[in-house]
């Protein structure tokens, strides 16, 4: 039987990386790159418009990291399968992405990145974890209890945006952003912005691109 064509969306903020991945995938029979995106917001829009089978997603994206983008995409395109690429091997980062719904996690700095094989496995419904990752274990930290919107707000807080600036970016009122900020701090039991930023980066809740 002929192999069903696998449609892929590439998400990375570096055009050269996307070009390299496109060449790598399209050299393989039965794979078609249907689109590219350079940030999280564009990734969400492209996924909804193109409905690819597999999304190869960089974690460290501007404005909205790959984990938050994955959450938003799977809300609208639940059949999509996300393969996360990241420079981070820390368990907290991996858990954040898997909790968001990613079906795979590969270390982007690996010289022998098995992207084609991983895409095929993800498309077939398998989970793919980089063998270089250690045991994930459990976590007592309340990292996954934030809503997608709260994670978007947190990302912008880490980028140094004021409540007013965040409100403009997300199209919400300043009061709504203030409520989100308060809820984030209450949920994470953190009571100042500096500590919040450190925690968010350390646990992989946000990217610092």
Confirm or reject CATH 3.40.50.2300 for domain 6-129, answering yes or no.
Answer: yes
Q: CATH second-level architecture of 143-202?
A: Orthogonal Bundle (1.10)
Report in angstroms the alpha-carbon separations of 94 from 21, 68, 85, 130, 159.
Answer: 22, 13, 10, 10, 22
Regions of the chain with pLDDT less than 50: 1-2, 138-140, 142-143
Domains 6-129 and 143-202 share a fold: no
In the prediction, which pLDDT does 111 show?
55
CA-nearest of 84, 9, 11, 85 to 49 is 9
In the prediction, which pLDDT does 142 show?
45
Domain ranges across the chain: 6-129, 143-202
In the prediction, which pLDDT does 2 show?
43
In the prediction, which pLDDT does 112 show?
60
Q: What is the pTM of this model?
A: 0.75
| DSSP per residue, 145-171 | GS-HHHHHHHHHHHTT--HHHHHHHHT
């Amino acid at each position: 039987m002929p192999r069903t064509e696998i449609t892929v969306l590439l998400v990375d903020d570096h055009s050269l990386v996307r070009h390299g991945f496109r060449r790598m995938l399209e050299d393989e029979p039965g794979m078609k790159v249907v689109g590219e995106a350079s940030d999280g917001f564009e990734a969400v829009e492209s996924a909804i418009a193109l409905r690819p089978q597999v999304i190869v997603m960089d974690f460290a994206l501007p404005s909205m990291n790959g984990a938050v983008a994955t959450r938003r995409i799977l809300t609208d395109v639940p059949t999509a399968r996300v393969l996360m690429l990241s420079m981070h091997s820390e368990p907290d980062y991996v858990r954040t992405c898997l909790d968001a719904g990613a079906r795979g996690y590969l270390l982007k700095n690996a010289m022998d990145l098995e992207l084609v094989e991983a895409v095929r496995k993800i498309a077939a419904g398998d989970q793919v974890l980089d063998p270089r990752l250690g045991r994930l274990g459990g976590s007592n930290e309340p990292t996954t209890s934030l809503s997608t919107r709260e994670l978007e707000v947190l990302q912008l807080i880490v980028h140094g945006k004021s409540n007013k600036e965040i409100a403009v970016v997300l199209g919400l009122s300043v009061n709504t952003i203030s409520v989100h900020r308060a809820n984030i701090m209450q949920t994470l039991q953190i009571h100042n912005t500096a500590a919040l930023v450190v925690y968010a980066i350390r646990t992989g809740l946000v990217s610092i691109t």
